[in-house]
Amino acid sequence: MWTPGNLYHVAFICISLLSPRHSPRRTKTYACVNSSSPPRSAFECNVVLIKIIIVGLFFCLSSVVLAQELELNDLIEEALKNNPEILAAQARGEAAKYKIPQAKSLPDPMVMFGYQNDSWNEYTYGESSDSQWMFSASQMFPFPGKRSLKEKMAEKDAESIAAAYAATQLRIIAKVKELYLDLFLAHKNIDLIHDKTSLFSRIEEAALARYSSGMAPQQEVIMAQTEKYMLMEKEEMFKQKIQALEAMLNSTLGRGDVNTSLGRPVEPVSAAFPATLDELLEKAYNNSPEIKAREKMIAGAEAKVQMAKREYYPDFTINAGVSKRRGMFDDMWSLTSTINIPLYFRSKQRQGVFEAQASLSEAQSEREAIKLMIASAIRDNYSMFTAAERLTELYQNALIPKTYQDFESAIAGYVTGKVEAITVISRLKALLDYELLYWGQITERGKAIARLEAITGEAHIVSPAGTEGNESK
């Protein structure tokens, strides 16, 4: 499989063949294009062919790089469509909606049919006035107000589940963003290791030059080579981390094959976060689907308290019947009503009210608990964001340039014998560590923003149907 690294390697070989040291001492003339062209040397023909190869390789390279570019918005849209947690939450919301018409419906009517005989020993239908076929239908009607309260309870439950569905979407979006940034960081760390490997090669070349001239022991050469091998070890560890992150990202996207290879994420754009801590708290209290879900639960619990109090009132059952008789006896009809009497209200209805009131208190406490948890999470992530802002500025404008300047000074002094090898190596290792920390803080800054967007309900949601918007608002 052609990769950007392979194509770059082949292009480097082709370019190296163009150098004068690869030109033949004895040149032969060929018509390398066609028979009518003037004769050319073998080296000139090679130059033409290699130029053609290089142009083709760079066209292939550009297509490979574009094909392997991983876009965050595409991943978010795919996760919203295929993530199993989101699909399960969506199904729960749909199921809750179907409960609303069931809650407000009347109970099923009852139908009765039977025969009454006047004698035990013989069939007396038509001979006795008490012998008759009986048919009746009954319907129970709850006390006025009960059906509307049951409907309200079902509606609030459905709205709470819908808010939980939006919270699941926001959580998955944040998870995709975090994995995307971690994957970018792993690729970036490998780039940094490749870059610093060339600097360690400079130390190795300087150590070899000093060793060959008798100015340094062989130990310094071995030390520089060992550091290069340690970088190779780190590179393998980052490659393994890339595979693990790709598996987790594929799982979050809902892909059946978690071993699908992903491309390289795009470098995140560093933009200012236009919100203060107080503004974030206000947005969270107004938009967070977690808080909205608890508020809907409170409304449902209040309706449940009202419903429990209505249970003190009886329900009515209307029964209409017809009795069919034969002969000289006329048919009969009947219309009756029955009510249930809450005779045991002390152990039943009253306890139901206490239960509903306790559930309401539980829902209210849960809302306050989730508010405190959200406020704590906002403060935590906001402090991480501000710390990452300060650290990236410190690394970018102070530590990294000064450490690189210190390294260049140290290696210049090492070549002239004024500085020891361990000093140069420690400077270069410090430079690598600072650059790794710099990009690590860039990643942590983006992850903190992703979590803040999820907590405040400000993440951009693309619904599976294709409409765009913020589902939490």
393: left (phi over 0), alpha (psi -120 to 50) or beta: alpha
Q: Which domains does the chain have, with CATH numbers?
A: 4-67 (no CATH), 73-106+155-311+348-469 (1.20.1600.10), 108-141+313-344 (2.20.200)
Q: Report the alpha-carbon distance of residue 227 to residue 217 in Å, rounded.
A: 17
Q: Report the alpha-carbon distance of residue 114 to residue 363 in Å, rounded.
A: 51
Using alpha carbons, select from 411, 418, 409, 425 the residue that is nearest to residue 219. 425
The CA-atom distances, in angstroms, between 291 and each of 50, 65, 278, 286, 296 are 66, 44, 17, 8, 9
Q: Report the alpha-carbon distance of residue 452 to residue 282 in Å, rounded.
A: 12
186 close to 241: Cβ distance less than 8 angstroms = yes
The CA-atom distances, in angstroms, between 465 and each of 56, 80, 437, 461, 462 are 42, 10, 41, 11, 8
457: left (phi over 0), alpha (psi -120 to 50) or beta: left
Full pLDDT tens readout for the chain, 473 residues: 444 444 444 444 444 444 443 444 444 444 443 444 444 454 454 544 554 555 454 444 443 444 468 899 999 999 999 999 999 999 999 999 999 999 999 999 999 999 988 888 888 888 888 889 999 999 999 999 999 999 999 999 999 999 999 999 999 999 999 999 999 999 999 999 998 888 888 888 888 887 787 777 888 888 888 888 888 899 999 999 999 999 999 999 998 888 888 889 998 887 777 788 999 999 999 999 999 999 999 999 999 999 999 999 999 999 999 999 887 888 899 999 999 998 888 999 999 999 999 999 999 999 999 999 999 999 999 999 999 999 999 999 999 999 999 988 988 888 887 888 888 888 889 999 999 999 999 999 999 999 999 999 876 544 333 334 444 43
Neighbouring residues of 437: CB distance < 8 A, sequence distance ≥ 6: 391, 395
Pairing type for strands 264-265 and 69-70 reads parallel
Q: Report the alpha-carbon distance of residue 227 to residue 210 in Å, rounded.
A: 18
